[in-house]
């Protein structure tokens, strides 16, 4: 990687931003909180002042967060994201794991499967066709979500 501080041993996040970028300013407190909580250092890259470095890092839009561990890029977070996503990004960076695309959580597919199952049972018990059909559709949704994880 170029000389951005990413050669540092351990986890590091490069934050590419610009003062005129509203989303960058909105995300700043969340990023700082996530960095403080996880103990991951953040190196700021002001894209207007470091065009060449931004180009070398293939930064095409801001805000961009680049995760690095022992100088090797492990993932990116581009654009606006929820506090939870940013925290997870930092936590994964801290652990040196490669960032992967967000997948359906166990809570999500379990909830779908349970809700669908409950509706099938209730619908069958009360002989309500719409209820069990909706239940079957939701249970299928849950099963597919679980299988595609």
Partner 1 sequence: MKKNEGNTDRILRVILGIALLVIGFAVMGGTAGVIVGLVGLVPLLTGLAGSCPVYSLLGLSSTKAAS
Known catalytic residues are: 21, 24
Structure-block tokens of residue 17: 């931003």
Write the interaction track for partner 1 spanning residues 79-118; mark x where CB under 8 A is met and - where it is not: --xxxxxxxx--x---------------xx--xx--x--x
Q: Which of 34, 35, 59, 120 binds partner 1 (CB under 8 A)?
A: 34
Could you tell me the CA-to-CA distances from 136 to 12, 106, 113 in Å, in that order? 46, 19, 9
Q: Which is nearer to partner 1, 3 or 127 (CB)?
A: 127
Q: Which is nearer to partner 1, 51 or 124 (CB)?
A: 124
Closest CA to 27 of 88, 94, 80, 93: 80
Smallest separation (angstroms) from partner 1 to the CB of 73: 23
A 10 A CB-CB count for 24 gives 20
Structure-block tokens of residue 134: 């909706």
Is 141 an interacting residue with respect to partner 1 (CB under 8 A)? Answer: yes
Largest distance between two CA atoms of the chain: 68
Is 56 an interacting residue with respect to partner 1 (CB under 8 A)? Answer: no
């Amino acid at each position: 990687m170029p000389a951005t501080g990413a050669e540092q041993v351990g986890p590091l996040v490069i934050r590419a931003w610009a003062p005129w970028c509203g989303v960058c300013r909105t995300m700043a407190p969340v990023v700082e909180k996530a960095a403080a909580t996880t103990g991951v250092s953040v190196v700021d890259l002001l894209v207007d002042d470091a065009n060449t470095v931004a180009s070398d890092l293939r930064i095409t839009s801001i805000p961009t967060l680049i995760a690095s561990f022992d100088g090797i890029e492990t993932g990116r977070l581009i654009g606006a994201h929820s506090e939870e996503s940013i925290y997870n990004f930092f936590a994964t960076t801290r652990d040196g794991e490669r960032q992967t695309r967000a997948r359906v959580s166990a809570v999500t597919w379990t909830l779908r499967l349970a809700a669908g199952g409950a509706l099938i049972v209730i619908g069958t018990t009360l002989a309500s066709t719409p209820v069990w059909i909706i239940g079957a559709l939701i249970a299928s949704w849950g099963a597919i979500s679980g299988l595609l994880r």
